[in-house]
Amino acid sequence: YGWEGEAMNCPSGHGSVAFGLANHATGDFATVTGGRFNEASGMASAVMGGRLNEVTGDSSAVIGGELNKATGKYAAVLGGDSNEAAGWSTAVTGGGSNKANGSYSVVTGGQNNNANGEFTSVTGGVSNDAKG
């Protein structure tokens, strides 16, 4: 992220806004509404709060938590720590170190779970892998 010494917000995308502390909204129509050291670089992407969250997917969002990423298009991470929604229309709703890779996949919690197949889901637990 590289912003440790910066305290200003940077809404540099066309029609973007950034609030909080040292947040960057670099995608067109991107929004960061709070927290610190967050970045929304996808078009029409959003980070609602938390710390060190990143949204690179278009029309994607991270609601809160820490070190979460929404890299797929139409992807969402609702909270937790070190989660990633990487596939098309994927979601991770919480927990830690979970990843939704397959299109239309979801991980609803737990730790170190992966939804890798298309239309797969993991509803919790530890170190589960849904391949579809």
Q: Which of 52, 67, 82 is at the close of a domain?
A: 67
Could you read off the pLDDT of 88-109 as tens digits, one per residue? Answer: 999 999 999 999 999 999 999 9
- Answer yes or no: do 62 and 77 share one domain: no
- Answer yes or no: do 62 and 83 share one domain: no
Band of pLDDT at residue 1, cut at 50, 70 and 90: very low
* Domain span at 4: 1-67
pTM tops 0.85, yes or no = yes
- Answer yes or no: do 31 and 86 share one domain: no
- Answer yes or no: do 80 and 130 share one domain: yes
Across the chain, where does the E strand assignment appear?
A: 10-11, 17-18, 24-25, 31-32, 39-40, 46-47, 54-55, 61-62, 69-70, 76-77, 84-85, 91-92, 99-100, 106-107, 114-115, 121-122, 129-130
Domain count, the chain: 2
Could you read off the pLDDT of 57-71 as tens digits, one per residue? Answer: 999 999 999 999 999
